[in-house]
Structure 1
Amino acid sequence: MRESLFIKQNADKWKVYETKPASDPDEIAERFVNITDDLAYSKTFYPKSRTTSYLNNLAAGFHQSIYKNKKEHGNRVFKFWKHELPLLFRQYHRQLLYSFLFFMVFFFIGWISAKYDKNFVRLILGDDYVNMTNANIAKHDPFGVYKDGNSSEMFLMIVSNNLYVTVLNYISGILVSLGTLVMLFQNGIMLGSFEYLFVSHGLGIQSVLVIFIHGTLEISSLIIAGGAGLVFGNSILFPKTYKRILSFKKGALDGLKITIGVLPIIVVAAIFESFVTRHTEMPIWLSILILTASLLFIIWYAIIYPIQLTKKLKNTNPNAGKS
């Protein structure tokens, strides 16, 4: 569609948004969704035009209005996970993909390094952990580490550590994304060498069936938090048509919201690790069911549902992106 037609179809709506204040926070949120939809279309087809710059500024104004509004509603939390977070996922799918790809590259670096350097696993995981795991394997209980200690105490220790790592992934983005990449590197290398330790003993499939009961959600959350860190860091590096300070504020806030959004998933993963993973004798079908359900949930909530929700919003806003 020509830019002139796009402007003609939407100009009246934009003028109303610009000159007539919304009557309530829900209307502000609805306008924000509509204007960001128009902005996305404009960025795609007219990236360097004045229209895109105008819509950027208009969207930024709504963004500030929403997050300066201190009034909270009873269903605010529900709306956050049903609408706001999935829309952020959709907006930053590219950064989430980059985080996934970087993590997988680092994972295979750890795997290959462990395969060709016998001392690499000990360097990464430490002698104590490797010796303990080898001893458990010799006792035919390779995953005995998950059975040690009280489940509740284990949960508190795991959840506090994983929440810390998740938040650190995001905060590290302030170092123009390099800090987040370092975190992804450390965790990817660690997981790769960790998995190879079991594969080298012929326990690859068993390790997946046991460890990924909790690892599916845990690793997915780590990757999403890495994406949040890239959102934060890239807002400094690539402000696009925003002023750099405004881009920084928006990237910091959006990254924070994504990070907060995955914290409950981290808690569920810690529950699995503390109370479920220790039952290494559980039927294979049950293990497969849990890790498959976890994987499908992540794929649906972080990828499929955000796309479906965006399409639904476009259908309810027929003026946006008409051709």
Structure 2
Amino acid sequence: MKEVSFIRQNIEKWKEVEKIVEQAEQTDPDRLATTYTDITSDLSFSQSHYPTSRITIYLNNLAFALHNSIYKSKKEKRSRIITFWTKEIPLVMLNSRKELFYSFLIFAISVFVGVVSTMNDDTFIRLILGDGYVDMTLNNIRNGAPMAVYSGAPEVSMFLGITLNNIGVSLYTFVMGLFTGFGSGYLLFKNGVMLGAFQAFFFQQGLLGESMLAIWIHGTLEISAIIVAGAAGLTLGNSWLFPGTYSRKVAFMKGAKRGLKIVIGTLPIFVVAGFLESFITRHTHLPDFIRLGIILLSLIFVLYYYLYLPKTLRYELPEKKD
């Protein structure tokens, strides 16, 4: 890259860093740390390609000033725990909106594959869900309790088991990003096919509406969180696969940090989803408007938190905030 192109590409960001240094005492510590990582990466690039240039001296001075600002601003603000959930996570999602879209797209396609395969092959559902589960469900349907699987265990133990399992799936999906986006994409595809096959199976039994009113009480949050975890994995995988102007190591560290924040953001959602599945879903006698209301409220929350809120905060931090 020519020096003039390098300067044009980053000059606005460097001007913003100068403002951050001037206002360091009022700046969030995480923002300072991320900005420092960003500017030192640019400095490293400049030292390698333009070692005698004035821009290298400028970046070195800027990094030095920012380094001093960080050590003067170590003390965390008491409001950090609040801003983490209300600002940091939404802003990270804003920067990972492409990964979120691709994660959703992979999942949607896999659901379609699961539906089509189940509708055209009677043995497919058993291949995906297993003979034991299918036979148990068919027996529950004959006994007039198609959703009995959700009332087969004590609420508390079911809540703990489901929540820990879902969190494990989320972390695994993220970690699989180490094997590029294909690792996380595979897990998304696998879970999507299972969901599609499951819903198609109940459609074949004439119970699609009842199954959706039950399953999506917890599934709206649970499935959304899995898709978000998939976005975290894709963020991790793309970071070192497509490092851009950063070194592969720096790009990986930035992607890992961003992806980890995304995953942490799903944990409370999995807890709430586990609670709903263990304590609410089993009550199939609840009026349909109550069950539908829970589903709609969950959907509104997901759309607000992961799509609308990030857009409202998009101008509060520099574009490359991680």
Instruction: Decide: shared fold, TM above 0.5.
Output: yes
1:22 to 21, 24, 42: 24
Offset at residue 29 of structure 1 (A) = 2.7
Question: Do residues 284 (structure 1) and 284 (structure 2) align?
Answer: no
CA distance in 2, matches of 1:13, 1:216: 39
**2:246 counterpart (242, 245, 266):** 242
Other structure's SS at 1:310 match: coil
Q: CA deviation at 1:8?
A: 8.6
Q: Give the counterpart of 1:197 among 194, 197, 201.
A: 201
Question: In 2, are the aligned partners of 1:17 and 1:31 still within 8 Å (CA)?
Answer: no
1:41 paired residue number: none
Deviation at 1:208, TM superposition (A): 1.0
- Taking a change above 3 Å as real, the CA distance of residues 30 and 301 of structure 1, as seen in their structure-2 partners, is farther
Tell me the CA shift for residue 145 of structure 1: 0.6
* Kept after mapping to 2: 8 A contact 1:146/1:278: yes
Contact 2:24 2:32 in 1 (8 A): no
Offset at residue 231 of structure 1 (A): 0.1
Normalised to the residue count of structure 2, the TM-score between the two structures is 0.81
The one-letter code matched in structure 1 to 2:102 is Y
State the Cα deviation string for residues 16-72 of structure 1 (Å, max 9, x = none).
Answer: 556x68336527737968x99xxxxxxxxxxxxxx9xx99xx89x979x98xx8754
User: What number of residue pairs does the alignment pair up?
Assistant: 289
Q: Which residue of 1 aligns with 2:276?
A: 272
Structure 2 counterpart of 1:22, one-letter code: A
Determine if the alignment matches structure 1 residue 309 to structure 2 residue 288: no
Deviation digits for residues 200-220 of structure 1 (CA, Å, limit 9, x no counterpart): 111111111110000000000
Aligned counterpart, 2:96: 92
**RMSD (CA atoms):** 3.2
Number of the residue aligned with 2:147: 143
Residue of structure 2 equivalent to 1:229: 233
Structure 1 CA distance for aligned equivalents of residues 301 and 284 of structure 2: 23
**How far does residue 15 in structure 1 lie from its aligned partner after superposition?**
4.0
Give 2:94's aligned amino acid.
R
Return the alpha-carbon distance in structure 2 between the equivalents of residues 97 and 10 of structure 1.
26
Within 1, Cα distance between the matches of 2:75 and 2:177? 30
Give the CA deviation at 1:11: 6.6
**Residue by residue, what CA displacement relative to the aligned partner does 1:56-108 show, whole Å, maximum 9, x if unpaired?**
xx89x979x98xx8754432221100110000011110100000000010111
Runs of 5+ unmatched residues, structure 2: 39-54
Q: 2:78 aligns with which of 74, 77, 83?
A: 74
Unaligned runs of 5+ residues in structure 1 are: 37-50
For residues 82 and 13 of structure 2, the distance between their equivalents in structure 1, rounded to whole angstroms, comes to 31
Classify 1:62/1:186 alpha carbon distance in 2 versus 1 (closer, same or farther; 3 Å).
farther
Q: Counterpart amino acid of 2:299?
A: L
Larger mean CA deviation between 260-269 and 202-211 belongs to 202-211
* Mapping 1:100-115, distance limit 5 Å: 100-115=104-119
Alpha-carbon distance change, 24 to 14 in structure 1, aligned in 2, over 3 angstroms: closer
Alignment check: 8 A CA contact 1:32 1:62 kept: no
Partner of 1:208: 212
Aligned match of 2:172: 168
2:128 corresponds to: 124
**Alpha carbons 1:213, 1:287 under 8 Å: kept:** yes
Cα offset, 1:5, TM superposition: 10
> Deviation at 1:310?
1.2
C-alpha change, 1:211 and 1:160, in structure 2 (3 Å) is: same
Structure 1: how far apart are the matches of 2:260 and 2:201? 35
CA 1:26/1:9 → structure 2, altered by over 3 Å: closer, same or farther?
Answer: closer
Are the structure 2 counterparts of residues 100 and 8 from structure 1 closer, same or farther at C-alpha, using a change threshold of 3 Å? closer
Cα separation, 2, equivalents of 1:233 and 1:12: 30
Give the 3 Å change call, closer, same or farther, for CA 237–11 of structure 1 in structure 2.
closer
Shift of 1:259: 0.1
Amino acid at match of 1:256: L
Shift in CA distance, 29/117, structure 1 to aligned 2, threshold 3 Å: same
Residue 218 of structure 1 aligns with which residue?
Answer: 222
Cα shift at 1:14: 4.2
Q: Of residues 272, 286, 298 in structure 2, which corresponds to 1:294? A: 298
Distance of aligned partners of 1:209 and 1:310 in 2 relative to their CA distance in 1, 3 Å threshold: same
CA gap 1:122/1:201 in 2 versus in 1, 3 angstroms: same
Provide the TM-score with structure 1 as the length reference. Answer: 0.80
Q: Does the 8 Å CA contact 1:22/1:28 hold for their aligned counterparts?
A: no
Separation in structure 2 between the aligned mates of residue 89 and residue 180 of structure 1, nearest angstrom = 17
Assess, with a 3 A threshold, how the Cα gap between structure 1 residues 15 and 105 changes in structure 2: closer, same or farther. Answer: same
